[in-house]
Amino acid sequence: MVAVMDAVTARACANIALVKYWGKRDALLNLPAAGSLSLTLAALATETTVQFDEALEDDELVLDGKPADAAETKRITAFLDLVRAQAGIPIHARVTSRNGFPTASGLASSASGFAALAVAATKAAGVELSGQELSVLARRGSGSAARSIFGGFVRMHTGTASEDAYAEPIESPLAERIRMVVAVIGGGTPKLHGSRDAMDHTAATSPMYRAWLELVPKDLAAAEAALGKGDLERLGAITEANALAMHASAITARPAVIYWRPATLAVVEKVRGLRGCGLAAWATMDAGPHVKVLTTADDASTLAMQLRDLDGVTAVTISAPGGGAVVVEGDR
């Protein structure tokens, strides 16, 4: 008889780093060279369904309604192999994943994708893991996915080995009033340099990389202190400066990794101008052209309205903090 296990669907939200992860110390185990700190966003969610089925000869992946290419499927198979090893089952799986935002465009789809996959695949394989263990597993898929297991503000630990390189949520008096405005630039076209290759290339060739690694622990300590005190001004200043430092290291890699488009800088300039006029607004950018702006519930709509008018900005979304990754269907 052919065994088909129950399908399980999980939902996870993307997160945006306020102190970035940019560089690995171990490529195989996907261990970060330094810690990081992020905010999980309710508006950027991924839903992933996993079903293990003995009738399958290989893993199958359908991404946003289309069969995925060989490279994408290979990455999912490598991840599912970890789950199969933990569950002691040799069975292939059918994986269906849907993003509520543009995939592979620097909007952190790998974070929500691998967090949702970790939760759905372990549940579907009958493996019970703690939040910490799920975070370790999700990290193997993508470093930032370790943070999407949890909601709100999240701190990623460097760890000393694989088991203690996990994320955990941080409480802050800012959690209620914080918002992020996401300005999509250029219609969410696929990014030119994947973050994995780009961070390795930066580490190998940028004369600024050492300075970046020295900066991160300082920014982390200051950001955590600001979160503890509810000091938004301080958190915002660290967020914007840290993103610019990460990009400085990428831009000075040889050859250069430049994620910004002219509209990226137009948004950054606007954000800085509005801040000068008293609005709570601090910009951050990742491995793509989009700008995410840290702000408050009070200022988010004014800010969104101002950014929508800029040339090259194709969509603007306001997001509240999101929750952690959860099973939404197939819980047994």
Binding site for ligand PMV (CB under 6 A): 17, 20-22, 36, 108, 110-111, 142-144, 195-196, 286-287
* 63/108 with CB nearer ligand PMV: 108
* 49/239 with CB nearer ligand PMV: 239
* 196/234 with CB nearer ligand PMV: 196
Strand pairing of 93-99 and 66-67? unpaired
* 135/195 with CB nearer ligand PMV: 195
CB of 7 to ligand PMV, least distance (A): 26
* 143/289 with CB nearer ligand PMV: 143
CB of 2 to ligand PMV, least distance (A): 36
CB 88 within 8 A of CB 55: no
* 20/123 with CB nearer ligand PMV: 20
CB of 18 to ligand PMV, least distance (A): 9
* 138/281 with CB nearer ligand PMV: 138
CB of 75 to ligand PMV, least distance (A): 11
CB of 53 to ligand PMV, least distance (A): 29
* 90/217 with CB nearer ligand PMV: 217
CB 110 within 8 A of CB 117: no
* 36/264 with CB nearer ligand PMV: 36
CB of 38 to ligand PMV, least distance (A): 6
CB of 256 to ligand PMV, least distance (A): 16
CB of 141 to ligand PMV, least distance (A): 8
List Cβ neighbours of 78 (8 Å cut-off, separation of 6 or more).
none
CB of 309 to ligand PMV, least distance (A): 27
Which two structure tokens, joined as six digits, stand for 66? 């289309």
SS (HEC) of the chain: CCCECCCEEEEEEEEEEEECCCCEEECCCCEECCCEEEEEEEEEEEEEEEEEECCCCCCEEEECCEECCHHHHHHHHHHHHHHHHHHCCCCCEEEEEEECCCCCCCCCHHHHHHHHHHHHHHHHCCCCCCHHHHHHHHHHHCCCHHHHCCCCEEEECCCCCCCCCCEEEECCCCCCCEEEEEEEEHHHCCCCCCHHHHHHHHHHHCCCHHHHHHHHHHHHHHHHHHHHHCCHHHHHHHHHHHHHHHHHHHHCCCCCCCCCCHHHHHHHHHHHHHHHCCCCCEEECCCCCCEEEEEECCCHHHHHHHHHCCCCEEEEEEECECCCCEEEECCC
CA pair distance 315, 187, nearest whole angstrom: 7
